[in-house]
């Protein structure tokens, strides 16, 4: 009978180690630490060192002990099953992501608005000649022949032009 060989891979553990401070058989004192613990330890130590003159006389060694407890409490912290550093990184990446998403690796954006240039003129049509026809529209209907007998009357634009147009050309 042949032996059954079992193989396991730990790619995730090699790429993203959960602890920092273990080198061979040597360990960091009071370690190993997770990345979240190191961040809290570094920021807390900086805050305590810079504000020591404010709290040392009143509280004594209580703030450094509280910092030590906070670092110890973070040893197995998880946010929705993820490391707090990775969860925070996910929040930052989500906040920086383009609102419209991505298309082809680039941020999807609306096209720039472009002005629609153009215009129109409204004119009164003055009929000089109309023809009566008995075509498909029925008896006695008025049919216009395009381009014949119709001229555009100038439309006054300003108040002065309206006044002059109202005088009928007399001065």
Output the CA–CA distances (angstroms, integers) from residue 40 to 37, 51, 156, in the order listed: 5, 16, 78
131-133 and 106-107 beta bridge pairing: unpaired
Confidence (pLDDT) at 14: 57
- In this prediction the pTM is 0.43
**Are 156 and 165 contacting, i.e. CB atoms less than 8 angstroms apart?**
yes
Beta bridge partners of 33: 20
Whether pLDDT at 15 is above 90: no
Whether pLDDT at 70 is above 60: yes
**Are 37 and 83 contacting, i.e. CB atoms less than 8 angstroms apart?**
no
Whether pLDDT at 18 is above 60: no
Whether pLDDT at 129 is above 80: no
Confidence (pLDDT) at 49: 94
Whether pLDDT at 133 is above 50: no
Q: For 80-103, what is each residue's pLDDT tens digit? A: 888 888 888 889 998 988 888 888
What is the Cα–Cα distance from 72 to 31, expressed in whole angstroms?
10
């Amino acid at each position: 009978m042949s032996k059954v060989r079992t193989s396991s891979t730990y790619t995730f553990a090699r790429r993203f180690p959960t602890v920092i401070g273990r080198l061979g058989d040597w360990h960091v004192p009071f370690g190993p630490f997770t990345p979240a613990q190191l961040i809290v330890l570094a920021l807390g130590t900086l805050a305590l060192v810079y504000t020591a003159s404010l709290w040392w006389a009143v509280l004594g060694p209580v703030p450094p002990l509280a910092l030590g407890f906070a670092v110890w409490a973070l040893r197995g912290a998880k946010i929705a099953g993820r490391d707090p550093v990775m969860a925070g990184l996910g929040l930052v990446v989500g906040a920086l992501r383009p609102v419209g998403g991505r298309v082809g690796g680039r941020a999807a954006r609306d096209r720039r608005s472009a002005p629609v240039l153009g215009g129109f003129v409204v004119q009164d049509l003055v009929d000089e000649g109309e023809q009566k026809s008995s075509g498909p529209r029925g008896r006695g209907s008025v049919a216009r022949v395009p381009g014949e007998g119709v001229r555009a009357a100038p439309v006054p634009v300003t108040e002065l032009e309206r006044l002059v147009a109202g005088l009928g050309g007399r001065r």
